[in-house]
């Protein structure tokens, strides 16, 4: 048969396939999200996220040590507070003596070369379970009043040694507001990775179990994005870039590869993608049932983020991927 074009020639052996491979996942791309609790010597498995734990500080350091020896250089830290410590205005979020702030300092003291990203949003500390301040009468999430609290939180995290502030709250104007709050007190070199296109997603379910942070009333639709929209992501990205963000993030990951690609094409900043809790749990559950090969599906998924244009991947699979890479 006279077939001139035979694409299969470029697939005929692993060595040729590796020569023509367009995208590669490396350990350099990965950020491991980790959960922190108060206390000593506790490590609790998160029931809806098998293989993921809430650690107290000294066990968190051990975990970071093993991640670091596997070649993971960046972590993102989330606190899980007991309900009795949560309040309306997220008071503990900017207390320098709180266990979260103290753990940030401990990580930087023990691992100065590890990049520590910290989370800015009210939900882990809020008795309302929202990322912003809730107006008791109307139930409205108050944008501008929230910014004042987020700024205190960002400054406290920077004072504790955070390298990258990660606003995950989706309030309007927060990147610019946090940038000037940080600059005013001299933290010009603290970066901002904005959760730029953060969608209102049911894929966050297991994370809210991990933090016990589900909203007490209503939902997050007035601040997180409608999953039917894509142009709005470009608008958010342009605003964050103008306001001084260093890195733009898309969240969740697998159902949002088109958004990753679109931001990559429209923006000149590095693009991160957050492979969220529900995406992790789905694969773990199917693997436990023997329905698919978890490691293979993980690698395929992580590589698809690179193919879509992501420079950085936040993933609960970071440790496992590093073991295999
Ligand atoms: C909230 C926050 C959420 C996640 C990170 N920060 C959940 C939410 O918006 O309710 C989700 C991460 C995940 O699902 O892995 N500020």
Long-range contacts of 35-41, Cβ-Cβ distance < 8 Å, separation of 24 or more:
35/78, 35/79, 35/80, 35/210, 35/211, 36/60, 36/77, 36/78, 36/79, 36/80, 36/99, 36/100, 36/103, 37/79, 37/80, 37/99, 38/81, 38/82, 38/99
User: Kindly report the CA angle at 282 between 262 and 72, in degrees rounded to 5?
Assistant: 70
CA–centroid distance, residue 292 to ligand 1 (Å)? 26
Cβ of 121 closer than 6 Å to ligand 1, yes or no, is yes
Q: Is 279 in the pocket of ligand 1 (CB under 6 A)?
A: no
Expressed in angstroms and rounded, the spacing between residue 119 Cα and the centre of ligand 1 is: 10
Q: What is the residue with the minimal CA distance to atom 5 of ligand 1?
A: 168
**Which residue has its alpha carbon closest to ligand 1 atom 7?**
204
Centroid of ligand 1 to alpha carbon of 97 (angstroms): 24
Rounded-to-integer distance, Cα 108 and Cα 77, Å = 12
Pocket test for ligand 1, best of 118, 122, 130, 131 (most atoms within 8 A of CB): 131
For residues 196 and 168, the answer to whether their CB atoms sit within 8 Å is: no
Q: Which fold has domain 22-324?
A: TIM Barrel (3.20.20)
- Residue nearest atom 14 in ligand 1 by C-alpha distance: 204
Neighbours of 150 (CB within 10 A): 26
State pLDDT tens for residues 196-234: 999 999 999 999 989 888 899 889 999 999 999 999 999
CA distances from 139 to 31, 38, 130, 209 (A): 35, 30, 11, 23
For residue range 274-287, list pLDDT tens digits in order.
999 999 999 999 99
Q: How many other CB atoms are there within 10 angstroms of residue 290's CB atom?
A: 8
Pocket test for ligand 1, best of 33, 48, 117, 123 (most atoms within 8 A of CB): 123
Of the chain, the percentage scoring pLDDT greater than 90 comes to 97
List the structure tokens of 167. 């606003």
- What's the gap in Å between 48 CA and the centre of ligand 1? 14
The CA–CA distances, whole Å, from 146 to 110, 125, 133, 310 equal 33, 13, 5, 30
| C-alpha to C-alpha distance for 151 and 139, rounded to whole angstroms | 22
| Per-residue three-class SS string for the chain | CCCCCCHHHHHCCHHHHHHHCCCCCCHHHEEEEEEECCCCCCEEECCCCCCCEEECHHHHHHHHHHHHHCCCCEEEEEECCCHHHCECCCHHHHCCCCHHHHHHHHHHHHCCCCEEEEEECCCCCECCCCCCEECCCCCCEEHHHHHHHHHHHHHHHHHHCCCEEEECCCCCCHHHHHHHHHHHCCCCCCEEEEEEEEECCHHHHHHHHHHCCCCCCCCCCCCCECCCCCHHHHHHHHHHHHHCCCEEEEECCHHHHHHHHHHHHHCCCCEEEEECHHHHHHHHHHHHCCCCCHHHHHHHHHHHHHHHCCCEEEECCHHHHHHHC
Q: Is the CB of 131 under 6 A from ligand 1?
A: yes
Euclidean distance between CA atoms 132 and 172, whole angstroms: 11
Nearest residue CA, atom 11 of ligand 1?
204
pLDDT of residue 211: 87
Catalytic residues, by residue number, are: 198, 251
In the chain, domain spans: 22-324
List the chain pLDDT tens, one digit each, 325 residues: 999 999 999 999 999 999 999 999 999 999 999 999 999 999 999 999 999 999 999 999 999 999 999 999 999 999 999 999 999 999 999 999 999 999 999 999 999 999 999 999 999 999 999 999 999 999 999 999 999 999 999 999 999 999 999 999 999 999 999 999 999 999 999 999 999 999 999 999 999 989 888 899 889 999 999 999 999 999 999 999 999 999 999 999 999 999 999 999 999 999 999 999 999 999 999 999 999 999 999 999 999 999 999 999 999 999 999 999 9
Q: Residue 122 CA: which ligand 1 atom is closest?
A: 16
pLDDT in tens, 155-174: 999 999 999 999 999 999 99
Give the position, in ligand 1's atom list, of the atom nearest the Cα of 169.
16
């Amino acid at each position: 048969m006279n077939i001139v074009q035979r694409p299969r020639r470029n697939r005929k052996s692993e060595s040729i396939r590796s020569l023509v491979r367009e995208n590669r996942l490396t350990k350099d791309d990965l950020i491991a999200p980790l959960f922190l609790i108060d206390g000593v010597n506790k490590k609790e498995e998160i029931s809806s996220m098998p293989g993921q734990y809430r650690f107290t500080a000294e066990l968190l350091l051990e975990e970071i040590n093993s991640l670091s020896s596997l070649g993971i250089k960046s972590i993102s830290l989330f606190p899980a507070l007991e309900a009795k410590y949560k309040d309306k205005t997220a008071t503990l979020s900017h207390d320098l003596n709180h266990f979260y702030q103290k753990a940030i300092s401990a990580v930087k003291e023990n691992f100065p070369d590890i990049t520590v990203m910290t989370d800015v949003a009210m939900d882990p500390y809020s008795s309302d379970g929202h990322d912003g301040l809730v107006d008791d009468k109307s139930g409205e999430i108050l944008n501008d009043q929230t910014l004042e609290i987020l700024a205190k939180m960002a400054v406290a995290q920077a004072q504790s040694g955070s390298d990258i502030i990660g606003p995950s709250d989706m309030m309007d104007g927060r990147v610019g507001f946090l940038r000037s709050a940080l600059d005013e007190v001299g933290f010009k070199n603290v970066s901002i990775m904005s959760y730029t296109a953060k969608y209102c997603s049911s894929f966050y379910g297991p994370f809210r179990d991990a933090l016990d942070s589900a909203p007490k009333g209503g939902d997050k639709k007035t601040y997180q994005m409608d999953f039917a929209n894509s142009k709005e992501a470009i608008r958010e990205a342009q605003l964050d870039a103008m306001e001084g963000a260093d890195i733009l993030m898309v969240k969740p990951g697998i159902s949002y590869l088109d958004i990753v690609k679109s931001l990559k094409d429209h923006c000149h900043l590095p693009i991160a993608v957050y492979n969220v809790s529900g995406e992790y749990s789905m694969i773990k559950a199917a693997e436990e049932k023997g329905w698919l090969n978890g490691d293979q599906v993980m690698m395929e998924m992580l590589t698809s983020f690179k193919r879509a244009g992501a420079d950085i991947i936040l993933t609960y699979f970071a440790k496992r991927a590093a073991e295999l890479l």
